[in-house]
Homo-oligomer: A and B are copies of this chain.
Amino acid sequence: MVETLRVAILGATGLVGQRFVSILSHHPWFSLEALYSSPEKAGARYGDVVEWAIDDRPDSWIWRVKLRKLDPEAVAGEKFDVVFSALPSEVASKVEPVMARMGVRIVSNASNLRMDPDVPLLNPEVNAEHASIAETQIASRGWRGWVAKVPNCTTAILTLALKPLHDEYGVKRVLVATMQAVSGAGLRGVSAVQITDNIIPYIRGEEEKVERESRKILGGLEEGKITLSPIQVSATTTRVPVLDGHLEAVFAELEEEPGSRGEVERVLEEFRGNKLRGLNLPSAPERPIVVRREHDRPQPRLDRMEGGGMSVVVGRVRLDPVAGGVKMVVLGHNTIRGAAGNGVLIAELMHRLGYL
């Protein structure tokens, strides 16, 4: 890569922001130029205010970067090639449209805009072709920039595992119970008093996101707009005392009956996300889906970093006549594949497709 792209992070001190920092501090294409934060932290050095909470350590120069105050006009004025947003949704819903109108290209992890039919909600191996609706977005909204969205973490992990089954057998219905890591709620979202020796069987808004976003990600593309998939999804989402990695117990009703458990496992592990073939995206894992055949895998602590945290790991595949198809256990790293890692992959895709 001769030319590097100038990028910035909005909301750099939170847990997803930290993952963005960690990945982007040594990315082959992207040069991290600026970190933006809330006004009370602006002006401080990153290392002095961030409550760093992940094992990965970025290159050390990052600790000395001075945080900038998030101001849409200032961001637009910098003419970054792309901006990564790890902003809270209530902030993002205010500033992202303003910045996009001013010409900023934004890959955002915030939940606003995700279901708008002209906003790409991308899980690249699954629906890279949806990227093109960025054009519809620009055209119809009169914006000079655009917003592409990172899906909800649980949904990104789920749809990646469902995609090859859907292609091969047709997925009619999915019932899923999740066991989600505490890091999914951010640095201070779950307190130790709440979760020690405990499970909280509720995550605000999560089930609706899974049910809704799955249908968009697996949906079609007609005349520049996304059409929702008819797949039916029902979820119960819970929080468990695990640091990183969302585990999902999936029951999938299929249109065609698979021949055997082994066949399903092969369909899963041979999936390559053909839409990315030949693009050589640096963050795309060699195997988007890793299948484990042991009886007791995947396990969050042992398997969440598979493919650098970008692969989902599927195990315990069983033909399930009661569910009308298969049941399986799916694991993915919630702040990498489910957030920052997927965000960077999306930006890489948008670049290869000519949108950066």
Contact = CB atoms under 8 A, between A and B. Distances in A.
A182 B240 CA distance: 14
Nearest to A196: B243
Interface string A69-84: 0000000000000000
A320 B201 contact: no
B300 A197 contact: yes
Contacts of A120: none
A258 interface: no
Given A177-B249, A236-B329, A329-B236, A241 B192 contact: yes
A299 interface: yes
Interface stretch (A27-35, A155-163, A272-280, A290-298): A290-298
Identical chains bound together, number: 4
A241 B238 contact: no
Contact of A196 (B182, B199, B305): B182
B297 A201 contact: yes
Interface in A202-216: 202, 211
A200 interface: yes
16 contacts: A15-B193, A175-B175, A175-B327, A182-B196, A183-B193, A186-B193, A187-B194, A193-B243, A196-B243, A199-B242, A201-B297, A201-B299, A234-B320, A238-B249, A241-B241, A249-B249
